[in-house]
A and B are shown apart, each in its own frame.
Chain A
Amino acid sequence: GAGVSQSPRYKVAKRGQDVALRCDPISGHVSLFWYQQALGQGPEFLTYFQNEAQLDKSGLPSDRFFAERPEGSVSTLKIQRTQQEDSAVYLCASSLGQRDRRADTQYFGPGTRLTVL
Chain B
Amino acid sequence: GESVGLHLPTLSVQEGDNSIINCAYSNSASDYFIWYKQESGKGPQFIIDIRSNMDKRQGQRVTVLLNKTVKHLSLQIAATQPGDSAVYFCAKGYQLIWGAGTKLIIKP
Contact = CB atoms under 8 A, between A and B. Distances in A.
Chain B binds chain A: yes
Contacts of B95: 45, 48, 56, 59
Contacts of B91: 42
Nearest to A3: B43
For the residues of B in contact with A, the DSSP-based class is loop
Interface string B84-102: 0000010100111111110
Interface residues of A, number: 23
A56 B95 CA distance: 10
B97 to A, nearest CB: 8
Interface in B45-99: 45-46, 49, 89, 91, 94-99
Interface of A: 4, 33, 35, 40-45, 48, 56, 59, 91, 93, 101-102, 105-111
The 7 closest A-B pairs by CB, nearest first: A42-B98, A108-B43, A102-B94, A105-B46, A108-B44, A45-B95, A42-B89
8 contacts: A42-B89, A43-B98, A105-B46, A106-B46, A108-B44, A109-B43, A111-B42, A111-B43
